[in-house]
Structure 1
């Protein structure tokens, strides 16, 4: 870890908790080829920085590759990611698409813009994983995302489940992983700011107006003024989701 300089408390926690989850679930194996789905937001950019550090200190070799799917609202904003990767020698594929505008057009009449755009983006990421023969696809979902998804599933589907930390696709040919699932949003933001990561603003017209945002606001109102409630909710759901995917010994 010396090559990354001295880490702050928040940065150390991010690296440590990510390693803990990866080890408990045996998330990767020697010579895994991991595609990192980087949107340019703080969560995925922090995951990239964390995984580069973990790659350097892991006891076996893995390969990392950045995969970025620009939804098309701003065809230029991903250039900062291209420079960042180039300066650090990180291989990357940056794809410019029209998923976002189409999601908000007459072409998409049946589904919400978020569902349509997310579906098209994931399809593109799967195609890139196949093209580059990647064994893993990593998303930067965090503990906040896990909790919100858990309650959304209860409200909308009558199902008590959150986000899995590791999930197999295409008959085991691709493993979707979420290395930062134990990290809360506040810790990620602090570490990302200290790393001076060049994140950029989400320009999607639906940003801040989704059902996820409504559930987030509802939860924040519940635990406002009592940090114990938030900690208990996060711990309970995180433990449940990790136990679902951890390797039994």
Structure 2
């Protein structure tokens, strides 16, 4: 048994880990993210958020009162074709099957093939399309992403100032006439808590070899949020709580 799989036992969880598991569970229940016999693909990039989501979902799978299947989906963008190796041991320790493949999406995004879009947009579009294809291939009913409360704030700002619309990140949204549901279990959890939980779980977080790491429009939006909240922790908490309530109202289940 690996250290990570051992520390996923509920009685071994520290404070940050318990917060992640509890908040994710509450959001999943409020928004109906899981259903009996759900087959969930976990989109794991190797970053701290998606790995924490993997740990949380491995625990929630044992808590929910109905059977749920999990499948890890990892698409290596092709900048470093070997950095995903720790995922193999991690999934074996957790007892979660995995689909791991190395793609050429990253290099293609920076090639002559992509003349109209930003490299980040094109790479993300290729990855999303492939994830949807894999969901169809494996007969998955749900696709989970590791977006958190900081991502919600950054996306809101990016849509507001760059795209001229009021929009965030849905915690649950339907695709392909209801055949697939995208869920974001960590959407109301702040990044520092996720980082602390991932360290406690000793998750094998990857470095990001993309040339655009830290230079994307999303990173710029994150900088805007940090600037707005600089020097005032309460301001950041208020922003995240307000956007979280607003997003939950939009995602509310019909009566």
Aligned partners of 2:163 and 2:239: how far apart in 1? 20
Picking from 99, 102, 105, the partner of 1:93 is 99
Instruction: Judge which range, 54-63 or 186-195, deviates more.
Output: 54-63
Match of 1:7 in 2: 13
Match of 1:67 in 2: 73
Aligned partners of 1:92 and 1:141: how far apart in 2? 20
Match of 1:131 in 2: 137
Q: How many residues align?
A: 249
Which stretches in structure 1 are left out of the alignment for 5+ residues?
none
Q: Normalising to structure 2: TM-score of the pair? A: 0.95
Deviation at 1:4, TM superposition (A): 4.2
Deviation at 1:5, TM superposition (A): 3.9
Matches within 5 A, 1:128-207: 128-207=134-213
Aligned partners of 2:139 and 2:112: how far apart in 1? 35
Picking from 232, 235, 241, the partner of 1:226 is 232
Deviation at 1:2, TM superposition (A): 8.5
Aligned partners of 1:83 and 1:228: how far apart in 2? 40
- Checking the alignment, whether the CA contact within 8 Å between 2:73 and 2:98 is kept in structure 1 is yes
Aligned partners of 1:109 and 1:170: how far apart in 2? 29
Secondary structure, aligned partner of 1:206: coil
Q: Normalising to structure 1: TM-score of the pair? A: 0.97
Instruction: Judge which range, 218-227 or 142-151, deviates more.
Output: 218-227
The answer to whether structure 1 residue 35 and structure 2 residue 23 are counterparts is: no
Match of 2:242 in 1: 236
Structure 1's 86 and 209: CA in aligned 2 closer, same or farther, altered over 3 A? same
Aligned-residue RMSD, C-alpha: 1.3
